[in-house]
Structure 1
């Protein structure tokens, strides 16, 4: 008979293992010595020790599921309980019991972790839903749209909840996205309609602007172009693909008109500036006739100067009063000289002066009436011309009255 601390072999070849419940039959050995029998079953024990150690390591260091771990433990426990090995089987049972407790603890830990993750996922999804519902009311179409797409990607990366909770939250999330998409679609549809209306309005403005581009009615046409510009601004923007082309056509038509107007005005201004220069020279010639010593020669010279004056065209409006006033001053001096000569040489001066005075007074009164009528009709140019004529007649009248006073003296 052979034995060791944990087992023995009796004389019949039966192998026993010692346990807390007493000896248990391991098996029968007939093929060799008792020591060989014990060694064989001791190796079986060592095999169990290795398998239990490996399972302990897997449970502690991997994500082996509780179910698979319990199955493996149960398989090893069956082998230990079968008593087909010689060794400290009670120690193995204790290790398996400890492993069961570890697996259960890990299962509870994972359950708690899953609960935490589920709670975190719920909070994250509720936050996504709340943000999506807020974004659904936004008018920042581009930014809100991009953010909603980002929220969808975030949602896909979160764990699923229980079906009921997950479906409810997803329904709210999806509804918010749909509401935003519907509002955005309505907005851009309305915007497209407004831009189409703006396009049609601007087409009409362009057509009119182009029709006016060849006009030479400078004042009214320029005024109408200003009105068209105001209408253009009020019409709003057309679609991007039309706006630039319409504007280029509209602006181009204006440019044609205003370039032509500027050219004509520049030519007119240059001509009037040259006319002013010529008239200033003539006014200077006339002024050299003063003081009058030879009335007949002065009268002939002034008449010649005046003919050349009348042949010259318009001068700039703001320079007209000054240059014409110089000529009128010479003309008045000529008239005064004539009046003085007339009074000095005509024996019937008094009678003629009286008759002339009456005629001049009538003429002055008539001119005053014509001036008032011209101004009432808004004919400023005619009124100014009549006023210059009135100045001459008034000067004659003043001279005639002075002559009468002299004759009366």
Structure 2
């Protein structure tokens, strides 16, 4: 090796456009990097060749370059916030400052500086967006608070508590969702809003407890009243069907007794209804027995109806009346029939026969009434006299040839004869 060669350190680092090396290795293994103001020692590599020493510190440079490139790629692709990238850029910049690496560190620092400048502008935009997001989040939380306060301000006596509880629970779930997924609010603002929301929830809970406490007290009184009604209804069981009127009175009282809570009401009503069912079952059993006992009575009355058909065929009213009277007496002796609709149908059939005979009797009476006969005879005489007079007038008109007089006389004569015929003359 020549003296000139011995005085110049051997280097194998990245080359510039002028082919000047970025690094050099001294005889003792000290490695330096070339910077704008001269050479700077970055470390020693005494146990290897100069090429190995330079390669080692160039790898350090490559790692730093990769970090810078990664930052640039993350910025281009988006997704990471500018503030986070600025923090990462500051960390990389700190690594570059006095880095123990061989390469164009100034170029890396320039790239980081350019990226940092770009991120600074983006950070301002992000900060403005963040402030806007915070303002929107404050407004959204305020809406939740106002809704909760509106629930708390309602008259507890008019609130549907099941619905109100569900609404308040939904508001709290939405509050938690905004708190977990939304932007972080300023501490003082968040605490003030939460205090309002918490106070509203406490008020609603207090009103609900008071309402249900009053309701429980009211239910207790209703429960006692209905329990007594149940006991009275159950005590009617020995009376059977005769207990139904009293049971109906108890039922009216039950309807006006109020509510004792669904479960209690359902249980008490089951007992009350069972007591009534027992009474009505006694009626059903009695009616079934009556229906069974009425089978022969039904047949007997239908036989009487067949016999009563002869009433209409009997020409002599006295005999027809005598036959119907006999049938009516036997009809009444048979007694009541069950079911009632069958009895009504049979009674209606007999009533039609009675009405038909009554109509015949009324007609006969009118025809044979002495006063009616006297009036009819007097009218007959008057019509007979009028007919004789009209016949004379017709004959005179025909002799005279007066056509109009003839027509009038004939018309009047025909009318009187029709009236006389109607009277049976």
TM-score (norm 2): 0.51
Partner of 2:263: 241
Alignment check: 8 A CA contact 1:129 1:172 kept: yes
The answer to whether structure 1 residue 206 and structure 2 residue 230 are counterparts is yes
Whether the 8 Å contact between 1:132 and 1:148 is mirrored in structure 2 is yes
Given candidates 163, 170, 184, the residue that maps to 1:147 is 170
How many residue pairs get aligned? The number is 296
SS at 1:215 equivalent: helix
Relative distance call for 1:42 and 1:109 in structure 2 (3 A) is farther
Higher mean displacement: 190-199 or 56-65: 56-65
Structure 2 counterpart SS, 1:161: coil
Gaps of 5+ in 1: 293-304, 327-409
Deviation at 1:254, TM superposition (A): 1.8
Deviation at 1:79, TM superposition (A): 4.1
CA contact (8 A) 1:196 1:239 kept: no
Alpha-carbon distance in 1 for matches of 2:145, 2:254: 45
* CA–CA distance in structure 2, aligned partners of residues 52 and 231 of structure 1: 93
Counterparts of 1:255-266 in structure 2 under 5 Å?
255-264=277-286
Matches within 5 A, 1:366-405: none
Gaps of 5+ in 2: 10-17, 75-79, 319-325, 338-342, 355-425
How far did residue 115 of structure 1 move? 2.7
Matched, 1:168 2:192: yes
Residue of structure 1 aligned with 2:144, choices 104, 128, 142? 128
Call closer, same or farther: CA 1:59–1:227 in 2, change over 3 Å.
farther
Given that 1:66 and 1:103 are in contact with CA atoms closer than 8 Å, whether structure 2 keeps it comes out as: yes
TM-score normalised by the chain length of structure 1:
0.53
CA distance 1:257–1:55, change in 2 (3 Å)? same
Secondary structure, counterpart of 2:97 in structure 1? helix
* Residue aligning to 1:231: 253
Paired with 1:65 and 1:177, the residues of 2 have a C-alpha distance of: 42
Per-residue displacement from partner, 1:18-74 (whole Å, max 9, x unpaired)?
Answer: 73xxx5344699x99xxx69x967985774465144234236526656445324313
The alpha carbon displacement at 1:202 in A equals: 1.2
Task: Quote the residue 1:74 is aligned against.
Answer: 94
Q: Work out the CA distance in 2 between the residues paired with 1:8 and 1:265.
A: 121
1:73-130 deviations in whole A, cap 9, x for unaligned? Answer: 13413349xxx96x65654443343243245345435434533443343233223323
Aligned to 1:252: 274
